[in-house]
Amino acid sequence: MIWFKRVLALAAFSVVLYLFWPLIGELRNAAGLFIHAKWGWLIAAVLIQVLSYACLTELNYLLLQPFEGKINYWRLMAILPTMAFIEVAIPSAGASGVVLRARFLGRGGYTPEVSTFTLILESIYLSTAMLVVSFSGFWYLLHTGALSSRQTALLAVVVCMLLAVAAMTLWAGWKRERAQKAVLALSGQWNRLASKFHLKLSSPDQVVARVDGFYDGLAQLGRRSRIPFLIFSFSRVILDVTSLGVCFIAFSYSILPGILLTGYGLMLALSGLGALPGGLGLADASLAVIFARLGAPGAVAVAAALAYRLIAFWLLRFIGFINWQVLEARS
């Protein structure tokens, strides 16, 4: 499975690079757009990203509340960018971020199982919000007839792929016994790989215990209303999309809401195929390609993509690096 994902990531990156090649000539024009950009809108994009991360922090804060342990809201807000930084600094398919999260939350009395469980739930809620937002943009474009037949067919294929992945995930996790079998199968594949490189093997009993802990925690959270979780999940995603739209406005281009939402969803789908954290490289190039293909001028698509990634990706991880130093010094 690991090699399959790497091959898929390489194939996706090759396609995006091929499509991005005609936009290389637009880099000089994009640099000119930055000189004449409306910097007030770019500052607004930064502030919107801050609000977006505040919603993400509140979502995590709500998920942690039912469990034994205590953490300050602002400390939690400092931990999340630190996770984002460490996942880039130490690429490990997200494992480095999981370990760092467990380390810092452990100082507040939370167990590693609770830390991992709440992270999984955060991913589920955010993925749901991203799918809904992306599909709403696709529906908007279909409803208004803004897509050509070729674009409609391509987006329909992507939508079907995303629905298939979501359906398989939902089917696997619907029942505890089924989830245990799926996780044990993955654990067996890990043990075969780990034995070749003399890595630590996973115990089937520990795997089953962690799955049971996940479902026990799910039952505990099930007694709470899901509305606040959904509100902050959708707020996080919608504010993130808004910051992307504001980046286009900063370069004097008003993008249609449907194209903005659809392009955002496609960027997330391609980022998930990336071999590096956050879709590094693949997301940067694909964002410009997607919006250029959806009708935005090439120079504007490149400039808006660079501005958004600098704000939402690199600035966040720079702050995460500073937070990491501060958190470790205080410990």
Domain count, the chain: 1
Token duo for residue 212: 């049971």
Confidence (pLDDT) at 159: 64
Domain extent for 134? 2-144+233-330
pLDDT: is 330 or 92 the higher one?
Answer: 330
Residue 245 domain flag:
yes
Spatial CA neighbour of 74 closest among 60, 88, 94: 60
The answer to whether position 139 is within a domain reads yes
Structure confidence by residue, pLDDT tens digits, 187-240: 666 667 656 656 566 677 776 776 676 666 666 666 677 889 999 999 999 999
Of the two residues 196 and 74, the one the predictor is more confident about is: 74
Please enumerate in sequence order all residues whose Cβ is within 8 A of that of 250, keeping only pairs 6 or more positions apart, or say none: 37, 38, 39, 41, 42, 45, 304, 307
b/e map 231-249, b = 16+ CB within 10 Å: ebbbbbbbbbbbbbbbbbb
- pTM for the full predicted model: 0.76
Within-domain flag for 42: yes
Distance CA(161)–CA(143), nearest Å, equals 21
Instruction: Determine which of 149-163, 226-240, 243-257 has the lowest per-residue pLDDT on average.
Output: 149-163
Position 228 in a domain: no
What's the N-to-C CA distance of the chain in angstroms? 38
**Do 180 and 208 form a contact (C-beta atoms < 8 A)?**
yes
Residue 170 falls within a domain, yes or no? no
Among 155, 166, 149, smallest CA distance to 258 is for 155
Residue 49 resides in a domain: yes
User: Considering the domain boundaries, does residue 60 fall inside one?
Assistant: yes
More confident call, 293 vs 75 = 75
Give the mean model confidence (pLDDT) for residues 130-136.
Answer: 82
User: What are the tens digits of pLDDT across the range 273-284?
Assistant: 554 454 555 666
Helix axes 298-309, 227-250, angle to 10 degrees: 130
H helix runs in 107-203, sequence order: 112-144, 149-173, 176-196
pLDDT digits (tens, 9 = 90+) for 26-67: 667 777 788 888 999 999 999 999 999 999 999 999 999 888
Segment (H or E) for 5 = helix 2-20
Inside any domain, residue 275: yes
Fill in the DSSP letter of residue 252: T
